[in-house]
């Protein structure tokens, strides 16, 4: 399994945390989220599936970093990726950005998530398909 790298997570989170700090995030968080990924995706030899899992996990890890940054950034100017927040930025702006990152990561994982439900299957069942 090809895990997200430090540079990718720093870019997505808009941070310039030391490598050791980001590596600790990877070590702590990735196992939690890998548990939510289907084993066939983790073990797949398909490079597109591997990249989806890697990118999805990177977005989710970046969201956790942004979320933690939010608790210590009230009233400070912080840049998050291409977005620069003003000096009056509130914690809620950071948390919204963190939620957006996490949602994007989960969307990228898509069918690789254990909890994924095919919307077409739901509509077929709903209408007696």
Classify 79 as helix, strand or coil. strand
DSSP letter at 9 equals H
Per-residue pLDDT tens over the stretch 82-111:
555 554 456 677 788 889 999 999 999 999
CB count, 10 Å around CB of 46? 10
- Whether the pLDDT of residue 75 is over 50: the answer is no
Token digits of residue 74 = 């009230």
Residue with tokens 């990249």: 51
Asked if 3 and 23 count as a contact pair (C-beta separation under 8 A), the reply is no
User: Which element (helix H / strand E) includes 84?
Assistant: strand 83-84
Report the C-alpha gap between 42 and 121 in whole angstroms. Answer: 24
């Amino acid at each position: 399994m090809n895990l997200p790298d430090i540079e990718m997570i720093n870019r997505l989170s808009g941070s310039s945390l030391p490598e050791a700090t980001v590596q600790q995030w990877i070590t702590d968080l990735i196992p939690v989220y890998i548990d939510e990924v289907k084993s066939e995706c983790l073990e797949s030899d398909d490079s597109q599936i591997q990249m989806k899992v890697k990118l999805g996990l990177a977005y989710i890890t970046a969201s956790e970093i942004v979320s933690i940054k939010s608790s210590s950034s009230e009233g400070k100017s912080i840049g998050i990726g291409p977005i620069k927040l003003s000096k009056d930025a509130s914690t809620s702006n950071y948390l919204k950005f963190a939620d957006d990152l996490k949602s994007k990561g989960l969307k990228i994982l898509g069918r690789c998530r254990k909890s994924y439900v095919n919307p077409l299957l739901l509509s077929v069942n709903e209408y007696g398909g």
